[in-house]
Structure 1
Amino acid sequence: MTQAQTHPDPRQLLEAFEAFTAASEHLQARYEALQSQLGQLQGELQTVIEAVPFAIWVLGEDGSLRFTNRPQGLEGRFLQGPAPWEPGSPGGQRRVQTAEGRELIFEEERRSAPHGGTIVTLRDVTEAVLRAQQATREDRLAAMGRMAAELAHEIRNPLGSLALFSGMLVQDLAEQPGPLELARKMQEGVGRLNSLVGNSLSFSRDLHPKLGAIALRPFWEDVLRSTTLAEAVPWENQVPEQATWLGDPDLLRQVAQNLLQNAIRALEDAETPRITLAAVEERLEGQPCWHLTLSDNGCGIREEALAKVFDPFFSTFGGGTGLGLAVCHRIIVAHGGLLFIESQMGHGTTVHLRLAAPAGA
């Protein structure tokens, strides 16, 4: 006897199909939501990676480029060895020269990627290197300043006696032209020594800047005019109207006068002498600041001399005390700022000054 064949209830089939369709639609909606979230997370990750203050390159095992957050590359050229994304890159500290001629310092690190290849990062350490150099220089200058102050105090008393006796000698020899000339030279020499002692004591004294807002454009124009530069050398002031430093105007005037006098002396043999002032807004240790550059197209400074320009009693010019730039360095350090010089023989010199801006400026 044949068993009767049973057929599924159409209503059950319809209910099962509807449940299957609903589950499919739910899964499709979940899938699309997850895809949207993934796309959003990828976009946020890309934004973060592009915003990090260092460059990243992910290279395949064959050296091919898989990913970078700097698709346009870096502005400037590497002074030694190939670029970080090229074979044979040496790693470590790298120097890059920008189109404007400024030299930047980067730290290159290389590590293996989890699934093969190499991850290369390049971080700008120019600020940290310059700060470290300035701190080392300030320690050395402070020690030299203490020694100079001790010597100046020891010399000052006998020097005062020499000044007194040389003055008396000039008076006593008023009727004897020959000996009088020698006495006057002695008096001038004592005067120069006295001035050097005074400068040494000024260099060694503690600085306590009285801070206030300084509008850079009129400030430098005033100093420029006071040095008669307007008549002697063409100059161009590209400093923006809103540029402002937080500093002691009297101390910074000393810095400005010294730097401008050096620039004028460097331009003595230039065919078409020119001095240019410019400033850009930056951040110094996370705080807003203005980075001012004072450039001349004069004779430049030899590389071996450039390393010594901030040393007391060192001068690239004949005459003078050699304390000008050392004093400038101490004033800028007392302000918590940054001072450094770039120069090339036959192409001129650029002095960089970075000081904080007033809050809210």
Structure 2
Amino acid sequence: MTDLSAHPDPRQLLEAFEAFTAASEHLQARYEALQAQLGQLQGELQTVLEAVPFAIWVLGEEGSLRFTNRPQGLDGKFVAGPAPWEPGSPGGQRRFASAGGRELIFEEERRSAPHGGIIVTLRDVTEAVFQAQQATREDRLAAMGRMAAELAHEIRNPLGSLALFSGMLVEDLQDQPGPLELARKVQEGVGRLNRVVGNTLSFSRDLRPRAASIPLRAFWEEALRSATLAEAVPWDNRIPEAATWEGDPDLLRQVAQNLLQNATRALEDAEKPRLALTAFEEPLEDRRCWHLTLADNGCGIPADTLARVFDPFFSTFGGGTGLGLAVCHRIVVAHEGLLFIESQEGRGTTVHLRLAAGG
């Protein structure tokens, strides 16, 4: 006799199958929703990674590339050593020459990836480095300026007496050619000392620039002509017509004259001297700026000297007072601008000037 209770009820099987099918469809729909959500998150993550202001490379243990947010690469080359994604990269601060001729400073960091390999990040620290250099320079120059001003005031009074007495001596010795020549040399020496004292006081005084819009191309054309470079040195003015600075024309003219004078002296022994001016717009977070470069192919500045070129009374040229670049620095800082110099001995010098754009 057969036990009918051992056979499942077809209706129960059908209900179980329908429940299983519904659960499967629900799980499938949930899976597809999660897949879509994952795809959206991956897209958003990719967008974020592409938008971050630094480059990322994820390398496998054997050096293969797993991921990068800069698949198009970098437009330029590193000055020394292999690229960050290549074996033997030194890390730390790296100098990078862009295809447009600018030299940038990157900070390279390397760390281990969670599942093996290396994560390499590359961050542009050019602005931070130059701002830090200028802030340090400003602190040093401010201290030097205060000391120089005190010394100049102490020297000026006795120097005035020396100038008066040497002038009287020259008048009294008109009929004695030999002593007269010596007295004139004393007078000339006192005059040079007086000019140095005057320049020192000018360097240490407070600057209050008056605001005006300066068309850069015309401004530097005039500066180049007044420096009598047109005949002595071929120069190329590639500054766009739209470029302007907001600043004091008289003070900035001093900067231009000092920089052009230095460039002229650096080009004295060059076989084919040339001078090039370029400018490009450089937006910062709070304002628009124009970044100007003045490049020569002259003698250049030795690396151990470059750090001191802004120090008062330090000159790489004989016979100078050594105040030219120190004054330039103070004028640019008074305009809340940025001034820095790149140079290689025997290859030339490039001066960078960045000031706010004019209205």
Same fold (TM over 0.5): yes
Equivalence map 1:300-339=2 (5 Å): 300-339=300-339
Equivalent position SS for 2:283: strand
How far apart are the structure 1 equivalents of 2:50 and 2:322?
47
Q: Are the equivalent residues in 2 in contact too, given 1:284–1:356 (CA < 8 A)? A: no
How far apart are the structure 2 equivalents of 1:6 and 1:189?
123
How far apart are the structure 1 equivalents of 2:79 and 2:311?
28
Report the Cα offset of residue 143 of structure 1: 0.9
Q: TM-score, normalised by structure 2?
A: 0.88
Q: Which moved more, 1:33-42 or 1:333-342?
A: 33-42
Listed one character per residue, the Cα deviations across residues 306-359 of structure 1 (whole Å, up to 9, x for unaligned) are 12111111111121211000000111112221111111222221100111224x
Report the Cα offset of residue 199 of structure 1: 0.2
Q: Are the equivalent residues in 2 in contact too, given 1:313–1:322 (CA < 8 A)? A: yes
Residue identity in the other structure for 1:260: L
How far apart are the structure 1 equivalents of 2:8 and 2:252?
103
Percent same amino acid at aligned positions?
80
Listed one character per residue, the Cα deviations across residues 136-161 of structure 1 (whole Å, up to 9, x for unaligned) are 11111111111111110011001001
Q: Are the equivalent residues in 2 in contact too, given 1:98–1:104 (CA < 8 A)? A: yes
Q: In structure 2, what is the equivalent of residue 272 of structure 1?
A: 272
> For the structure 1 residues 44 and 7, does the alpha-carbon distance in structure 2 shift closer, same or farther, using more than 3 Å as the test?
closer
Q: In structure 1, what is the equivalent of residue 180 of structure 2?
A: 180
How far apart are the structure 1 equivalents of 2:286 and 2:115?
36
Report the Cα offset of residue 296 of structure 1: 1.2
Q: In structure 1, what is the equivalent of residue 138 of structure 2?
A: 138
What root-mean-square deviation, in Å, do the aligned CA atoms of Structure 1 and Structure 2 show?
A: 2.8
The number of residues matched between the two structures is: 355
Equivalence map 1:69-80=2 (5 Å): 69-80=69-80
Equivalent position SS for 1:350: strand
Q: Which moved more, 1:174-183 or 1:83-92?
A: 83-92
How far apart are the structure 2 equivalents of 1:216 and 1:246?
10
Report the Cα offset of residue 305 of structure 1: 1.9
Q: Which moved more, 1:147-156 or 1:248-257?
A: 248-257
How far apart are the structure 2 equivalents of 1:30 and 1:237?
65
Q: TM-score, normalised by structure 1?
A: 0.88
How far apart are the structure 2 equivalents of 1:33 and 1:212?
61
> For the structure 1 residues 104 and 324, does the alpha-carbon distance in structure 2 shift closer, same or farther, using more than 3 Å as the test?
same
> For the structure 1 residues 86 and 272, does the alpha-carbon distance in structure 2 shift closer, same or farther, using more than 3 Å as the test?
closer
Q: In structure 2, what is the equivalent of residue 261 of structure 1?
A: 261
Q: In structure 2, what is the equivalent of residue 356 of structure 1?
A: 356
Equivalence map 1:176-325=2 (5 Å): 176-284=176-284, 286-325=286-325
Residue identity in the other structure for 1:178: G
> For the structure 1 residues 313 and 285, does the alpha-carbon distance in structure 2 shift closer, same or farther, using more than 3 Å as the test?
farther
Listed one character per residue, the Cα deviations across residues 34-60 of structure 1 (whole Å, up to 9, x for unaligned) are 545543433332222112111101122
Report the Cα offset of residue 117 of structure 1: 2.4
Equivalence map 1:6-17=2 (5 Å): none
How far apart are the structure 2 equivalents of 1:23 and 1:259?
78
How far apart are the structure 2 equivalents of 1:219 and 1:105?
30
